[in-house]
Amino acid sequence: MYELFDEYWWLLFPLAFFLIFAWNSFMRYKQTKAKIELLKTYAASGNEPPAELIRRLDGDSDELGGNESPENSGGTNAFLIILFAGLAGVFVVEARYDILGMGEVAYFVAMIMGVLAFAFLVGAIFQRGYKS
């Protein structure tokens, strides 16, 4: 079992990324569900819900993830593009100079990181063109 983590330690980066994304999605779901339950409470009592609550439900803003609208996600995408492009560069340097002894496996890791950086770049380009 130790050999698995010794040779494929770099898989922890994408795994952690996906776990963080799943946790944020789950928390956003729970928060939206709580807001809907609050609206149901207002409706059952016959009261008008506050305008702020309606505005938060209509928009994509939330306290956990900030504003996830296409207009305001540029900073997050820029960070992820730079992060994965930088990691790809680090692994290319490692493969070229064999610093850690990973050999040609580092080129494969660099390709994965490069594809992720490219995917975030394309996502940022398409989000900028999206207007709802």
Residue with tokens 């207002």: 42
Stated pTM of the model: 0.54
Structure tokens at 17: 């990324």
Q: Which run of H or of E encompasses 62?
A: strand 61-62
Give the mean pLDDT per block of 10 residues along the chain (132 residues). 71 85 92 88 89 76 48 70 93 92 90 92 80 50
Boundaries of every domain in the chain: 15-68, 70-132
